[in-house]
Structure 1
Amino acid sequence: MLQLNIKNETSRLRAVVLGTAESNGPTPTIEEAYDPKSLEHIKAGTYPVEEDMVKEMEAFLKVFQKYDVKVYRPEIIKDYNQIFSRDIGFVIEDTFIKANILPDRERELEAIQYVIDQIDPAKVVRPPEEVHIEGGDVMPWNDHIFIGTYKGSDYKNYITARTNMAGVTYIKELFPNKIVKEFDLVKSKIEPRDNALHLDCCFQPIGKDKGIIYKSGFREEADYMYLVNLFGKENLFHIEREEMYNMNSNIFSIAEDVIVSEKNFTRLNTWLRDKGFTVEEIPYAEIAKQEGLLRCSTLPLIRD
């Protein structure tokens, strides 16, 4: 049996599901694009090719192996995008929560069923249908659970709005002892530089008390200030609009002092090293074209 344990984003990782880029399928049509960034690259003819994405994910896998992390991969579904395992489920404490994802993506959950089968069935839950919640929006942080959402009345018009207020309420009821804090995120169907697809596109905690943040990703100044007050302004690395677009906040922590980052994130990686972090740099710029990066490709199961 897998004894799940996830209390935060940075404790020493022991087991993880890493997505796969194998048999990724043809470049989507314009109509098939789920997010504005993919759309931009489909139109420009720069959408990533499978061979490059497989190489990038292999580099990520090698880092996990270096740190002796147990890595599970999804079963391959032919011609199907299975890179972003963060969307399909997430773990809080010892509970695996299946996400109600876009209906087209249901098969991604089936591809990791062999992992879910190793978990105590009493610890696997699926929210009711009206609850929308994806792993990219959910961040356990010790006594807190941070959740990205969209409170606009036009929620249903946005394919980029992935977690609703029913999702926030559901987590509050599931974890009554936690401080569940939701953040209202800026969404755009057409401009990827103004679209925080998930909370991890504009914020992520690192280390013990630090974080990476994009102020303009929050619709309400008060939500941004909540994090400033919690972490302290001097502990937050503020990214700019273009850095947000390139997914600088979507790195991944293997431990409190070890971070996997994209090799082109020069400003961020320099800051991290100055703060004492070990930075494992890998190429991930092709996968980033689909509006997802390192955190999006992982589903952590066990941390110390």
Structure 2
Amino acid sequence: MLNLNVKNETSRLRAVVLGTAKSNGPTPTIEEAYDPKSLEHIKAGTYPVEADMVKEMEAVAAVLEKYDVTVFRPKIIEDYNQIFSRDIGFVIDDKFVEANILPDREQEFEAIEHVWSQVPKEQRIKLPEHCHIEGGDVMLYNDYIFIGTYRGADYSDYIIARTNMEAVEAMKALFPHKKIKSFNLRKSNTNPRENALHLDCCFQPVGKNKAILHKNGFLEEEEYEWLFNFFGKENVFEIDKEEMYNMNSNIFSISENVVISEKNFTRLNTWLRSQGITVEEVSYSEIAKQEGLLRCSTMPLIRD
């Protein structure tokens, strides 16, 4: 049995599900794109190829193994994208929540049955069907759960609106001991520089009390201000639109002192090191073309 425990984004990682790029399938058609960044690369003929993505993910697996983290991988489904394990579920405290994701992606969860089945039944949670939520929108900070959402009446018009307010309310009922705050995110089906696909595309805690933040990802300035003030000016690293587009807020913490980051994030990585954090640099720029990065492809199960 797995002894689940995740209370925040940065405590020492012991076990994780890392997605896989093997048998990723052909380049999607324009109609099949789930997000504006993939769409941009499908149109430009620069959509990533499987061999490059497999190589990028294996480099991450090697870093995790270097730090003695137990790494689970999904069972391979032929010709199917299984890179972004963060979307399909998440652990809060000792509970494993199966995310209600886009119906086209339900197989992805079945491919981690070997992990799910190791969790005691009373700790497995399935939300009602009308509650849509993805792990990229769920950010843990000890007593707090921060959730990215989209509150617009036109929610259903956006394939990139992944977490609804019904799910936020369901989470409040499930975790009454936590302070749950939701954030209205900026959405665009067509412009990746104006689209915060998930909360982790514009915000992530790092280290002991610091955060990476991108103002334009938030539709309501006061919600962004609340987060900024919560961490405090001296603890916030603000990223610009281009850095948001390149997914600078989507790094992944192995502990408060160690992160895995993309090697091209020069400004961010320099800042992290100035804060006493060890940066394990990997190349992840091909996977980034699908509007997801290191946090998106990892689902922590146990942190100390």
TM-score computed with the length of structure 1 as normaliser: 1.00
SS class of match (1:296)? coil
Corresponding residue of 2:134? 134
Corresponding residue of 1:254? 254
TM-aligned CA deviation for residue 226 of structure 1: 1.0
SS class of match (1:3)? coil
2:132 is matched by which residue type in structure 1? H
Give, in whole Å, the separation in 2 of the partners of 1:176 and 1:73: 32
- Please state if 1:265 is matched with 2:258: no
Corresponding residue of 1:286? 286
Give, in whole Å, the separation in 1 of the partners of 2:286 and 2:191: 19
Deviations 1:169-222 (A, max 9, x none): 011100101100000000000000000000000000001100000001000011
Deviations 1:272-297 (A, max 9, x none): 00111000000000000000000000
SS class of match (2:187)? coil
Give, in whole Å, the separation in 2 of the partners of 1:178 and 1:105: 29
TM-aligned CA deviation for residue 228 of structure 1: 1.2
SS class of match (1:63)? helix
- Please state if 1:114 is matched with 2:114: yes
- Please state if 1:5 is matched with 2:5: yes
Give, in whole Å, the separation in 1 of the partners of 2:271 and 2:118: 40
2:264 is matched by which residue type in structure 1? N
TM-aligned CA deviation for residue 233 of structure 1: 1.2
Give, in whole Å, the separation in 2 of the partners of 1:228 and 1:159: 28
SS class of match (1:147)? strand
Map 1:147-162 to 2 at 5 A: 147-162=147-162
- Please state if 1:144 is matched with 2:135: no
Give, in whole Å, the separation in 2 of the partners of 1:249 and 1:140: 15
Give, in whole Å, the separation in 1 of the partners of 2:101 and 2:146: 19
Corresponding residue of 1:184? 184
Give, in whole Å, the separation in 2 of the partners of 1:113 and 1:288: 27
Corresponding residue of 1:219? 219
TM-aligned CA deviation for residue 77 of structure 1: 0.2
Corresponding residue of 2:95? 95
Give, in whole Å, the separation in 2 of the partners of 1:171 and 1:139: 12
Give, in whole Å, the separation in 1 of the partners of 2:49 and 2:229: 42
Give, in whole Å, the separation in 2 of the partners of 1:27 and 1:274: 40
2:16 is matched by which residue type in structure 1? V
SS class of match (1:295)? coil
Deviations 1:254-273 (A, max 9, x none): 00010100000000000000
Q: Using the TM superposition, name which of 226-235 and 5-14 deviates more.
A: 226-235
SS class of match (2:242)? helix
SS class of match (2:237)? strand
Deviations 1:117-141 (A, max 9, x none): 0000110010001100000000111
Map 1:21-60 to 2 at 5 A: 21-60=21-60
Q: Give 5+ residue unaligned stretches, structure 1.
A: none
Runs of 4+ in 1 over 3 A off after TM superposition: none
TM-aligned CA deviation for residue 234 of structure 1: 1.3
Calculate the aligned-residue CA RMSD, in Å.
0.4
SS class of match (1:6)? coil
TM-score computed with the length of structure 2 as normaliser: 1.00
Q: Give 5+ residue unaligned stretches, structure 2.
A: none
Corresponding residue of 1:66? 66
Give, in whole Å, the separation in 1 of the partners of 2:74 and 2:65: 17
2:113 is matched by which residue type in structure 1? Q
**Residue identity (%):** 72
Give, in whole Å, the separation in 1 of the partners of 2:26 and 2:228: 43
Give, in whole Å, the separation in 1 of the partners of 2:222 and 2:123: 35
